[in-house]
Amino acid sequence: MRLGCHLSVAKGFWQAAENAPKLGANCFQYFTKNPRGFRGAKPLDPVDAARGREALRRLDLVAVGHTPYLINLASPEDELYQLSIEALVQDLVIAEARGTYAVVVHCGKPKGESAAWGVRRMQEALAAVLEKSTAQGVTILLENTAGQGSEIGTHLDELLAIAEPFPKEAVGFCFDTQHAFAAGQMTAEHPEDYAGFSEPAYMDRLLAIHLNDSLVPFGARKDRHALIGQGYLGADAIRRILRDPRLDHIPFYLETPVEHEAQYADEIRTCRALLAQAS
């Protein structure tokens, strides 16, 4: 089973790949560029990307990119909307060069417009991205949201609607446990009852799981992660998710608020111990 964490690429993508196994990770996520901006990102270094690709193969790793938070594919403002499309096109190129199978993007915020308008706007954005993109073998993964502000993508129906016009090779899903819990879509008592897990149209496109505990209670509609077993979701819910046979072929990525990367070794150890526990 693949279990890993978010890693910094400040010292190069290649370095992140070399570090992953030292933390007990056999998969990892990285930011494609500065997470808080569109600019200030280092241009793609083809030598680093090639060394990283080689490291993924040698170390038997898989990785996904995560796009910057500023991307809003449902923005009613044309400038931000176009910048978001351009940024995602670039991120697909970066992910392809690094030999990584997908990039994760949060569902958008239509601000004053309706959720249905936001769904259509995101579909148009995704169609534009796929039209412009030359990248091969990289899937765009739509991440469910906690439902902050005008965010769409909390409900399964919205996620399915956004992806529906596209082939699954182009558009898939990333499931974030904290977001689903905070959005009131998955309980701590019965996480296995999350509607998506028994929906073939969802499971067919589910290519990544963000495994996070929650700093905020059920239904609080805030995106606030906690360390594994130290939040409102709790160790037992995390254990049930990790042991769910419907999810065992999907890579799990921790995005928990560690103080430094080395602490992910403890988080991964905690998860492996939960995985080994029947009840």
Residue 151 found at the interface with Zn ion (CB under 5 A): no
Tell me the window of 6-14, 162-170, 223-231, 239-247 that interacts with Zn ion (CB under 5 A): 223-231
Using CB positions, name the residue nearest to Zn ion. 210
Nearest residue (CB) to Zn ion, 55 versus 183:
183
Report d(CA 15, CA 243) in Å as an integer: 31
Q: How far is the CB of 213 from Zn ion (least distance, A)?
A: 11
| Terminal-residue alpha carbon distance, the chain | 19
CA quadruple 268, 27, 5, 168: dihedral sign:
negative
Q: Are 171 and 205 in contact (CB under 8 A)?
A: yes
249 among known catalytic residues: no
Residue with tokens 């929650």: 214
190 among known catalytic residues: no
Q: Are 226 and 235 in contact (CB under 8 A)?
A: no
Report d(CA 184, CA 218) in Å as an integer: 6
Q: At what angle do helices 264-275 and 234-242 cross, to 10 degrees?
A: 70
Nearest residue (CB) to Zn ion, 158 versus 223:
223
Residue 223 found at the interface with Zn ion (CB under 5 A): yes
CB atoms within 10 A of CB 21: 15
Nearest residue (CB) to Zn ion, 75 versus 212:
212
261 among known catalytic residues: no
259 among known catalytic residues: no
Q: Which of 48, 91, 158, 176 is catalytic?
A: 176
Q: Which of 223, 232, 239, 264 is catalytic?
A: 223
Question: What is the pattern of x (binds Zn ion, CB under 5 A) and - over residues 161-180?
Answer: ---------------x----
Report d(CA 176, CA 146) in Å as an integer: 9
79 among known catalytic residues: no
Q: Which of 46, 103, 113, 59 is nearest to 81 (CA)?
A: 113
Q: Which of 18, 45, 69, 224 is catalytic?
A: 69
Question: What is the pattern of x (binds Zn ion, CB under 5 A) and - over residues 41-80?
Answer: ----------------------------------------
210 among known catalytic residues: yes
Q: How far is the CB of 208 from Zn ion (least distance, A)?
A: 9
- What's the number of CA atoms in the CB half-sphere (13 Å) around residue 168? 11
Q: How far is the CB of 67 from Zn ion (least distance, A)?
A: 11
155 among known catalytic residues: no
Chain centroid, CA 30 distance in Å: 10
* Contact with Zn ion (CB under 5 A) among 72, 210, 250, 268: 210
Residues binding Zn ion: number (CB under 5 A): 3
Residue 213 found at the interface with Zn ion (CB under 5 A): no
Report d(CA 177, CA 254) in Å as an integer: 10
Q: Are 169 and 207 in contact (CB under 8 A)?
A: no
Nearest residue (CB) to Zn ion, 51 versus 210:
210
Q: What are the two backbone dihedrals, phi and then psi, of residue 111, each rounded to the nearest 5 degrees?
A: 55, -115
- Positions annotated as catalytic residues are 36, 66, 69, 106, 143, 176, 179, 210, 223, 225, 255
Interface residues with Zn ion (CB under 5 A) are 176, 210, 223
